[in-house]
Amino acid sequence: MADVSTVEGLNASGIADWIASQLQAALSKQDGPIAISVPGGSTPFPIFAELLKRDLEFSRLLVWPGDDRIVAEDHEASNTGKIRALFEPSGAEVVTLTVMEQVPHFALVWLGMGADGHIASLFPNTDPRVDDDHAIRRLTPDPLPPEAPFDRVTLTMPSLLASDQIMFTLGGSAEKREVFEAARRGEHDLPIARLLGAATQPVTCFA
């Protein structure tokens, strides 16, 4: 079971400060690029904007979307297109997630979580496994979220777990916090619980 630290009350700037400190430490440990995975949705983008104000060597950053809807990058539902528009002017490289990509070890995996316990696009109906032999999968959520009724491409559990540390942003949702805390206690078998049950690296949750 993961060693989870929960942080309450930080705004986007405070969370960005924490991320920047983790990235700076990772960049200092090695030459060359480091890889991170980031979520889509509404919560991360104000944090991204704050992070990009920090003094980091963004040209050494490989940014992987943890998942995306299978749409063109200029579609309003594309996470990758929005992430690219923000990060690439800083010099960072943003990866297009396809099943052909070779997934690296991540310095940091940043995840959101749905109220149904899904992480990335690993929804409960997809029965995600920590021993999945695929690094990336294309799949169909069921039920399809009405606001984004598209097939998905997503990193799998082993890819998310191949990381130095994991962080979550729950966006201040009491409902999500309850699901997350129940997962910590092993009280259900939703995707979030499977990930926390298998994680051996530090996990930080910004509630």
Give this prediction's pTM. 0.96
Q: What are phi and psi of 166, to 5 degrees?
A: -125, 140
Share of the chain above pLDDT 70, in %: 100
Domain residue ranges in the chain:
4-206
Span 130-136, mean pLDDT? 97
Residue 144 banded pLDDT, cuts 50, 70, 90: confident
Q: Which two tokens stand for residue 207?
A: 């509630």
Asked, as a colleague might, if the bond just before 143 is cis with ω within 30 of 0, I would say yes
**CATH class as words, domain 4-206:** alpha beta
Interstrand relation of 34-38 and 108-111 (parallel, antiparallel or unpaired): parallel
Q: Shortest CA distance to 97 belongs to which of 128, 120, 123, 125?
A: 120
Specify the 3-state DSSP secondary structure of 152: strand
User: Rounded distance, CA 37 to CA 128, Å?
Assistant: 18
Mean pLDDT of the chain: 96
Q: How many CB atoms lie within 10 A of CB 154?
A: 26
| Sequence-distant contacts of 122-126: CB under 8 A, at least 24 apart | 122/67, 122/154, 122/156, 122/157, 122/191, 123/191, 124/190, 124/191, 126/191
pLDDT score at 143: 86
Span 3-16, mean pLDDT? 95
